[in-house]
């Protein structure tokens, strides 16, 4: 089974914790990405999504000059790059987030989205199913062969 490191996105938008909300908004808008990870050194400490920015700037009337730490979601749910896809799928089931920072030894190395995990598992299952069908076909042919051979040898009543 494949690992998270194969499907993660390694070009993650990051901002230091001293940055302002307007910086985060500008970064998200210019790069057309869904979220930005707030880091301290290389350690991820929070995440800000498009919805967080809209909700806080428009509904809660928070000034864009405030620090990003005020509106970020923290703590984050990190995933290890060696996590298997099935395990990741279970994490999605319990957490219901859309994006998960991938963290190795405390450092941010990538970002993985729910949809890429789901699509990767779907591809894997389809691949496995195709292999399984071929193997089953060979088994069936083999069984049929034995059936005929054995029928000849012991005078099998159904055919002869």
Partner 1 sequence: MIKAKVIMTENIVTINENASITEAAKLMINKHVSSLLVAKNNMPTAIIVKNDLIKGLLNKNPSNIEVKNIMSKNFLVINPNTSYPYMLKKLRKEHIKRFPVVKNNKLVGIITETDIVNATRDFTRFHQIMQEVILAVFGLVTAFFLFFFSPLGQSMLWG
Residues at the contact surface with partner 1, assessed by CB under 8 A? 22, 25-26, 28-29, 32, 34, 50-51, 53-55, 57-59, 89, 114-115, 118-119, 121-122, 125-126, 128-129, 132, 136, 139-140, 143, 146-147, 150, 154, 157
Q: Residue 128 CB, nearest distance to partner 1 (Å)?
A: 7
Measured distance CA(93)–CA(41) in Å, rounded: 30
CB atoms within 10 A of CB 119: 12
Tell me whether residue 104 or residue 114 sits nearer to partner 1 (CB atom): 114
Nearest to 89 by CA among 7, 13, 34: 7
Tell me whether residue 40 or residue 135 sits nearer to partner 1 (CB atom): 135
**Collapsed DSSP state (helix, strand, coil) of residue 81:** coil
Q: Residue 63 CB, nearest distance to partner 1 (Å)?
A: 12
Cα–Cα distances in angstroms (integers) from residue 82 to residues 2, 4, 43, 97, in the given order: 9, 6, 18, 19
Q: Residue 44 CB, nearest distance to partner 1 (Å)?
A: 21
Tell me whether residue 75 or residue 158 sits nearer to partner 1 (CB atom): 158
Q: Residue 20 CB, nearest distance to partner 1 (Å)?
A: 12
Contact 15, 68 (CB under 8 A): yes
Q: Residue 41 CB, nearest distance to partner 1 (Å)?
A: 27
Cα–Cα distances in angstroms (integers) from residue 57 to residues 22, 32, 63, 76, 115, in the given order: 10, 18, 7, 22, 27
Tell me whether residue 20 or residue 104 sits nearer to partner 1 (CB atom): 20
């Amino acid at each position: 089974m494949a690992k998270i490191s194969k499907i993660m996105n390694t070009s993650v938008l990051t901002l230091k914790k001293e940055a302002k909300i307007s910086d985060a908004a500008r970064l998200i808008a210019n790069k057309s990405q869904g979220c930005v990870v707030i880091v301290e050194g290389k350690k991820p400490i929070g995440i800000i999504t498009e919805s967080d920015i809209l909700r806080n700037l428009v509904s809660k009337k928070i000034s864009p000059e405030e620090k990003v730490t005020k509106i970020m979601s923290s703590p984050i749910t990190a995933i290890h790059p060696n996590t298997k896809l099935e395990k990741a799928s279970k994490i999605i089931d319990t957490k219901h987030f859309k994006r998960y920072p991938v963290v190795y030894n405390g450092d941010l190395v990538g970002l993985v989205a729910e949809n890429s995990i789901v699509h990767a598992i779907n591809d894997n299952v389809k691949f496995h199913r195709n292999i399984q069908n071929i193997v089953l076909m060979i088994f069936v042919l083999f069984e049929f062969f034995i059936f005929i051979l054995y029928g000849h040898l012991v005078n099998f009543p159904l055919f002869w």
